[in-house]
Amino acid sequence: QVRLTESGGGLVQAGGSLSLSCVANVRTFGQFAMGWFRQAPGKEREFVASISTSGGIINYADAVKGRFSISRDDTKFTVALQMNNLKPEDTAVYYCGVGKYATYDTTGTQYTSWGQGTQVTVSS
User: What was the pLDDT predicted at 57?
Assistant: 96
User: What was the pLDDT predicted at 105?
Assistant: 96
Within 10 angstroms of residue 116's Cβ, the number of other Cβ atoms is: 11
Tens of pLDDT along the chain (124 residues) come to: 899 999 999 999 999 999 999 999 988 888 999 999 999 999 999 999 999 998 899 999 999 999 999 999 999 999 999 999 999 999 999 999 999 999 999 999 999 999 999 999 999 9
| Alpha-carbon separation of residue 62 from 31, 46, 49, 106 (angstroms) | 27, 11, 10, 12
User: What was the pLDDT predicted at 29?
Assistant: 87
